[in-house]
């Protein structure tokens, strides 16, 4: 997909709200969602892409400039581009996500609790999230 086609698709998505209260609420919500998405890049069990998608929706209705910034950001714009254009995750993203997930779960199981049931729950959550990540369509690395 060319840059012009991508920008054209982003323009179709934009619909900045006229009411300033709604616009400011969406703007604040967008920033909160970006913050949670960034945390999700580093914290196991916290998703990333869905928060960036929701932030993009908020920014599309509150700020054209921030909407473009989010989609073209060099650190997390690729999550949106891969999901919007190709509907999946790269193999590298899956490996990184699953590695951090299990690193966090193992550390939590060893250092945060001695309760066997909590450790079993952590393992079950890890298996479920790993299964989910592996079931997402694997795409090739974006060259953008």
**Does a structural domain hold residue 102?**
yes
The answer to whether residues 10 and 61 belong to one domain is: yes
The answer to whether residues 65 and 118 belong to one domain is: no
**Predicted confidence (pLDDT) per residue in 75-103, tens digit:** 878 878 777 778 888 888 888 878 888 88
The answer to whether residues 69 and 130 belong to one domain is: no
**Does a structural domain hold residue 144?**
no
Mean confidence (pLDDT) of the chain: 83
The answer to whether residues 46 and 107 belong to one domain is: no
The answer to whether residues 12 and 70 belong to one domain is: yes
30/65 Cα distance (integer angstroms): 13
Total of domains in the chain: 2
133/44 Cα distance (integer angstroms): 12
Domain coverage including residue 111: 89-139
At 123, is the pLDDT very low, low, confident or very high (cuts 50, 70, 90)? very high
With b meaning 16 or more CB within 10 Å and e meaning fewer, what string describes 52-78? bbbbbbbbbbbbeebbbebbbeeebbb
Give CA 55 to chain center in angstroms: 9
**Does a structural domain hold residue 112?**
yes
Give CA 139 to chain center in angstroms: 16
Q: Is the model's pLDDT at 25 over the cut of 80?
A: yes
At 29, is the pLDDT very low, low, confident or very high (cuts 50, 70, 90)? very high
The answer to whether residues 74 and 32 belong to one domain is: yes
Q: pTM higher than 0.95, yes or no?
A: no
């Amino acid at each position: 997909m060319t840059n012009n086609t991508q920008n054209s698709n982003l323009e179709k998505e934009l619909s900045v709200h006229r009411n300033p209260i709604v616009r400011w609420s969406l703007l604040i919500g967008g920033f909160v969602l970006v913050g949670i998405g960034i945390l999700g890049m580093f914290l196991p069990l916290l998703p990333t892409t869905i928060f960036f998608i929701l932030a993009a929706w908020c920014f599309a209705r509150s700020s054209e400039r921030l909407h473009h910034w989010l989609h073209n950001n060099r650190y997390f714009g690729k999550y949106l581009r891969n999901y919007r254009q190709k509907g999946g995750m790269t193999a590298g993203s899956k490996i990184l996500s699953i590695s951090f997930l299990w690193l966090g779960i193992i550390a939590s199981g060893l250092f945060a609790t001695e309760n066997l049931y909590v450790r079993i729950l952590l393992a079950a959550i890890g298996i479920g999230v790993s299964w989910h990540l592996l079931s997402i369509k694997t795409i090739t690395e974006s060259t953008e």
